[in-house]
Structure 1
């Protein structure tokens, strides 16, 4: 099996039974805030796209690049389709001309047959509202000699099925770096922002190491990050100035952490790097540049590399910005009322879960999303808010113009906004912003309406508690960490007070627990 990095979470997996192209992203994403790092724009995308199978893990724009798929990827390729509850991914691929689909069943091993032979594959589909109804997924491939698990930025809850169906995993690709806007965009004291950023940087790498331990692969390829920020307004977000609170560490940083914890099977790959495996044996690893130049991209020359990259992409960035809608136009109050109120009316669980009005400062206008009353309105004098956002009106007008169903993976991941809140994170609020279609909101509201299974019990560091995390049902025997009287689920970093079971991250989500 030959694995070639094509940048970020993208890989081409070549086997005797055919080639699979995974998540080929090259064009800037999220209002041109994110670019692949290192630069992958000079790869031969026509050759890369001449594949037998296509796998797009989910619809986030650093994985689903419609422009690249339309221009360069073989439309006769068989699409390995994750088992998502909402068919948005298939619809988007059909619009691009793909017409051959192999529909998988979540966490079930399948054999796909083509003119070159047979491959065993499994797609683990994540379908909780935190992943968005468009979902997330990971792909396992077995060509008879080598097993590769491309987890990209998915966070599977239960990995026992992988070993049950495939045995030893030889190669594991997974995310280790940040893909979020917290804490950078929040209005808070710099000291607090630094503390939260430092904590988040370490937790995301701890979570990655936990997955590596569970999968137990011989070789690990850190992937799916970090993004590169080339806009002068966002350049400070790159981890190129020794900031321990930066949530976007690069591959070299994580490989050093792996080695410090006794794992020497990490592989550094850049776009164009190719690794050849036979089972657990690494036959070769080649890069498109000399080894010292590859290392310099991440170490001594990183700031210069990003500066040169930004200069090369200046016209691309300008062209992306020229597509944004004008800042002025019809009052946003009326546009948002027409867009949001029909969704609010359908979403009792989510609106009640949000529980209070939310402020949107949109340039000269301020709009209130009154979730308890299911209306969009103007603010009243001296009104106070527990949650608010300041967003440039041109960004809001663009997503409204394009009928974008997901603000989280457009506006929010762009980091081109500010936020403030009183109290903890509100999962329901961000779920609402991911689910701006009838299908998505119906699925998400129904998911919240179902009772979580908390009947199984475990013992952990002196406490007896429910086995499944109240957030997304992760197995706390694997992801739970107790420090004093605080439990942290490292899957998403949520925390609970073990003295009373209260969730410290978001309201609700109480944990059944007691001291032994």
Structure 2
């Protein structure tokens, strides 16, 4: 098996039974904020796209790149389709011309007989509202000789199926770096923001190491990040200036952490790097540049590399910004009312979970998204808010113009906004902004309404508590860390007070717990 990095979370996997292209991303995403790092525009995309199978893990724009898929990828390729409750991904691929789909069943091994032989595949589909834009997934591939697990940025809660259906995993590709806007966009004191950034940076790498330990693969490829920020307004977000609070560490940082924790089989790959494997034997690892030049991109020469990259991509970024809607125009109150109020009327669980009016500032105009009353309105004099956002009006006008169903996957991941809140993170609020269609909000509201079994218990460090995390049902025997009276689930960093069971991260989501 040959595994070739095509940048970020993208890989081409060549097997004896056929070739698979996974998550090819080239063009800037999220209002021109994210670019692949390192630069992958020089790859031979016509050759890379001539494959037997296509796998797109989910609809985040750093995984689903419609221009690249439309222009370069063989439309007769069989799409390995995750088992999602809402068919948005299939529809998006059909619009691009793909017409052959193999519909997988979540966490079930399928043995596909193709013209070049039999290929074992499994897609672990995550279907909670917090998983990507209504879904995220990881792909397992077995060509009868080598097993690869491309987890990208998915966060599976049960990996026992790997050993049961595939035995030993030979190579494991997974996310280790940040893919979020927290804490950078929040209006908070600089010292607090730095402390939260340091905590976030370490926690995401700890989570990655926990997954590595669970899967137990021979070789590990850190991937699916970090993004590169080339806009001068965002250049400070790159981890190229020794900031311990930067949440976007690169592959070399994580490989060093792996070594310090006793794991020396991490592989550094950049776009164009190819690992040739026979089972767990690494036959070769080749790069498109000499090894010292590859390492310099991630270390001593990183800032200069990004500066040169930004200069090359300046026309691309300018063209991206030219597509935005004008900042000036008619007042935004009525368009937002028309967009949000029908969705609010369908989402009792989500609106009640948000529980407060939310302030939305857009240049000179401010509106209030009043979730308790299910209306969008003008602010009341001296009104106070628990949650608020400040977003440039041109971004709001663009997503309204485009009938964008997911502000999280456009505005928020761009980091081109400011947020503030009193108290903890509110999962319901961000779920609302990613579910701006009837299908999505119906599914998400129903998901929150379902009762989940929390009858199984575990004991840890003097406490007994429910085994499944109240957030997304992660196994706390694997992801739980107890420090004093505080339980942290490292899957998403949520915390609980073990004395009271109260969630310290957001309202609701109580934990059943007691001291022993």
TM-score by shorter chain over 0.5: yes
Displacement of 1:452 in angstroms is: 1.8
| Alpha-carbon separation, structure 2, partners of 1:421 and 1:490 | 23
Q: Within 1, Cα distance between the matches of 2:55 and 2:112?
A: 13
Query: For residues 459-498 of structure 1, what are the structure 2 equivalents within 5 Å?
Result: 459-498=459-498
Equivalent residue number for residue 108 of structure 1: 108
Aligned mates of 1:483, 1:174 — CA distance in 2: 27
Structure 1 segment 129-208 matched on structure 2, within 5 A: 129-132=129-132, 134-208=134-208
Partners of 2:98 and 2:263 in 1: how far apart? 40
Q: Deviations over 1:239-277 (max 9, x none)?
A: 000000000000000000000000011000000000000
In structure 2, relative to structure 1, the CA distance for the partners of 1:27 and 1:134 (3 Å cut) is same
Corresponding residue for 1:70? 70
**Shift in Å at residue 134 of structure 1?**
2.9
Superposition pairs for residues 232-243 of structure 1, below 5 Å? 232-243=232-243
List per-residue Cα deviations over 1:137-170 (Å, max 9, x = no partner).
0000000000000000000000001111001000
Contact 1:29 1:35 in 2 (8 A): yes
Shift, 1:132, TM fit: 4.5
What is the distance in 1 between the residues matched to 2:133 and 2:406?
10
Residue 249 of structure 2 is matched in structure 1 by: 249
Task: Give the match for residue 222 of structure 2.
Answer: 222
Give the secondary-structure state (helix, strand or coil) at the position aligned to 2:220: strand
Alignment partners' CA distance in 1, 2:483 and 2:441? 37
User: In 2, are the aligned partners of 1:133 and 1:440 still within 8 Å (CA)?
Assistant: no
Structure 1 residue aligned with 2:57: 57
Query: Per-residue deviation at 1:112?
Result: 1.2
Q: 2:133 touches 2:406 (CA, 8 Å); kept in 1? A: no
State the 1:329 CA deviation: 1.4
* Contact 1:488 1:496 survives alignment (8 Å): yes
Give the conservation status (yes or no) of the 8 Å contact 1:85–1:133: no
Aligned to 2:279: 279
Alignment of 1:314-463 (within 5 A): 314-463=314-463
The answer to whether the 8 A contact 1:148-1:169 is kept is: yes
Shift of 1:114: 1.1
Deviation, 1:2, is 0.2
Q: Which residue is 2:83 aligned to?
A: 83
Distance 1:403 1:254 in 2: 39
Q: Give secondary structure in 1 for the equivalent of 2:130.
A: helix
Alpha-carbon distance in structure 2 between the residues aligned to 1:119 and 1:132: 27
Output the CA distance in 2 between the equivalents of 1:305 and 1:508.
46
Partner secondary structure for residue 294 of structure 2: helix
Cα contact 2:406–2:435 (8 A) shared by 1:
yes
Distance 1:373 1:467 in 2: 36
Measured in 1, the distance between the counterparts of 2:402 and 2:464 equals 49
Check the 8 A contact 2:133/2:409 in 1, yes or no: no
What is the SS of the residue equivalent to 1:313?
A: helix
Work out the CA distance in 2 between the residues paired with 1:256 and 1:109: 34
Q: What's 1:45 paired with?
A: 45
CA deviations on 1:435-493 (whole Å, 9 max, x unpaired) are: 00000000000000001211001111111000000000000000000001000000000
CA distance in 1: counterparts of 2:139 and 2:74, whole angstroms: 20
Deviations 1:282-336 (A, max 9, x none): 0000000000000000110000000000000000000000000011112110000
For 1:212 and 1:466, the matched residues in 2 are separated by 24
Q: Is the 8 A contact 1:89 1:134 kept in 2?
A: no
Q: 1:221, 1:254 → 2: CA distance?
A: 10
Unaligned runs of at least 5 residues, structure 2: none
Deviation of the 1:213 alpha carbon: 0.1
Gaps of 5+ in 1: none
Work out the number of aligned pairs and report it. 516
In the aligned structure 1, how far is the partner of 2:460 from the partner of 2:102? Answer: 42
Deviations 1:202-227 (A, max 9, x none): 00000000000000000000000000
Q: Which structure 1 residue ranges, 4+ long, deviate > 3 Å from structure 2?
A: none
Give the corresponding residue for 1:512.
Answer: 512
Q: Secondary structure at the match of 2:204?
A: helix
2: CA distance, partners of 1:163 / 1:355: 43
Inter-partner Cα distance in structure 2 for 1:67 and 1:146: 32
Higher mean displacement: 325-334 or 87-96: 325-334
On the 8 A contact 1:132/1:435 being kept in 2, the answer is no
In the alignment, structure 1 residue 291 sits paired with structure 2 residue 294:
no
Q: Give SS of 1:129's match.
A: coil
1:93 is aligned to: 93
Question: 1:168-203 CA deviation, whole Å, 9 max, x = no partner?
Answer: 000000000000000000000000000000000000
Write out per-residue CA displacement over residues 1-55 of structure 1, whole angstroms, 9 at most, x where no aligned residue: 0000000000000011100000000000000000000000010000000000000
Q: How many angstroms does 1:113 deviate by? A: 1.5
RMSD: 0.5
In 2, are the aligned partners of 1:25 and 1:36 still within 8 Å (CA)? yes
Q: CA deviation at 1:133?
A: 5.4
Query: SS of the counterpart of 2:369?
Result: strand
